Chain A
Amino acid sequence: MKQEEDFDANLAGEDGTEAESKTSWFKRIKKGITTSTADKKETPEGLWTKCPECNYICTVTELRELLFVCPKCNHHHRIGSEEYFDILFDKNYFDILFENIRSKDFLGFTDLKPYSLRLQDSWKKTDITDSIRIGSGKVNALPLVIACMDFEFIGGSLGSVMGERISRAVDHCLEHKTPLMIICKSGGARMMESAFSLMQLAKVSGKLSQLTDACIPYISLLTDPSFGGISASFGMLGDLNIAEPGALIGFAGPRIIKETIKKDLPAGFQRSEFLLEHGFLDFIVDRKEMKEKLTKVLTLFKN
């Protein structure tokens, strides 16, 4: 049985896979192989990668050339802002904006771990400064500001910094008359910022309203996963809402819905194709065709 992912765990800063399924018949008590990963004499780390959907194995270099799309089953691997900027911006040339805005633990929030420590750990673990990066560059010579989320930073959670960086990106777009695209990849609001994170929904929506008044296009690209506060605000407010194939997109997480209705969810529930079918997406775009399609869209808006 395929492991079900728990987005909530990502928001709690843990890795998001539940080790054991509730329906498993047998439970392994003793560990099978006791050699720790570090002691294994295997190929160098990070050289090979396995597709989580079809188990196809290929090298990371190969996968990178394929824009992190599985050649066998077209599964779109999760990638970060660095990869998206590389894929979309001409010659990978762009400015990174508003990196100086950083999260802080204003509330002194402590769950199993203090929020300040979580932030420290995330900064150490990754080379990104928060869950969103703003890049300003050109896509086939057309100027575009891309705000791209990074799932590896506390589950791409929506906190004050994401709100502020997007707000300033909007100001930047207003000033330079540049279209804006937000690439969503997030489990939802950052609970450690409590009501402040909730208010970012209103904050960003207000800023988007200024883009509307200035007749500047805003595109929302939803990737796997886009949940909670993201879909309840700017994720669904694009002049165009588009998505990558097979991305999980929704308001409530599948686990919560399953617990509420006490039934299994239908296959393909909350996938991009499901959303397209129900009328919430303009189209689904393959990563390989994204740049071309984006260019087409930007040209159409321009003329």
Chain B
Amino acid sequence: MAETNSSEKFKHLSKLEKNILQCISCGDCRELTDNTLDPPNWGVCVAREHTTGFEPFFGRGKMQIIRSLWQGKLELSEDMANVIFQCPTCNACSKACYYGLNTVDYYEALRAELVDAGCALDVHNEMNQGLLENLNPYGQDNAQKKNWLDQLDFTVKDASSEPVEVLYFTGCTAALSAAVQPVAINTAKVLHKLGIDFGVLGGAEICCGSVAMRTGARQVFQEIAEKNAALFQKIGVKTIITSCAGCYRTLKIDYKDMLEGSGIEVMHTVEFLEKYLRENGIQLKNLGIHVTYHDPCHTGRHIGLYEPPRALLRQMATLTEMKNIKEHAKCCGAGGGVKKAFPQLALDIAKTRIQEAEETGADYIVSICPFCDRNLADAIQETGSAMQVKDLLELVEQALE
């Protein structure tokens, strides 16, 4: 039986063996347009919308490729990889699936098979190799991760040497990218203003490994994740917060087995703050601005964190929702290694999202993911839109009396 050999041949897909044949190929993962729903749902797959649109660019085609591989009818190839990696793994197709197949699990397993077969994209290979060497995917000296702390007028505890109640896991993008550092700075300012006992790892912080996991480099991910899990357990932290949607998904879902029994709770900073402010009766100041909110895929569809950011925004601003929100929200296009390997595709997808944001009449598009922030800002620059991107933490910092 071909399937028996496949179990040995495809070690990543074999973990999903039970449901590989369940995709009925209905194609609802292609567009599923329905304005009679509340919220309405216009289209599903941003990758299909911005590519040539052949079936492998959306869910059903990928699932048929996986089935064909599994049944021994097809071989992995670089051509295949070039298409399979043009997907931001936003998981919209999963939400469209009547049978609830968690499609991203299959795509990531297929990516892992491609990587193991030597079909990875060169740019991803370089990035993941650099991640192992530098402990961040940006090819920078990891010690620089502490530099943003110099911009604060207070001291933040070093969680690697002092006990803290809350570890703020900064993430590589906010720590190392000058344009996105305000996310880290504002997060720290907010925590400081609220008197929360928190610390950071600074130069000792290791990338969460999201980029490796998303691009199929599972060996790299495993190595990185094990280092992190050991570090978290060593410092004895019980609550980890992060202002990065990618780190959040990775630490909460991909580390689940490794952190099991450790008692560590992983929260997005926004989730943590909304709860904290609510429980302590702290009201945010209304900033008198008009905003719309972009749900990052990793906080939204991957985990279901929809209401806390909106609850905070409604206190601070007038919130007008876009046409596609929550589980139907359109991806910004940056995730899944797309920004790295296919920057134009990422930009094209983001431009569509900005257009949708403009239709609300809002002045600001707010999000809670440095990676989304960056890609959306690139699209604004490209299109000359008057809209501005704000990270929610920046607004919270301004709105805390």
Tell whether A pairs with B: no
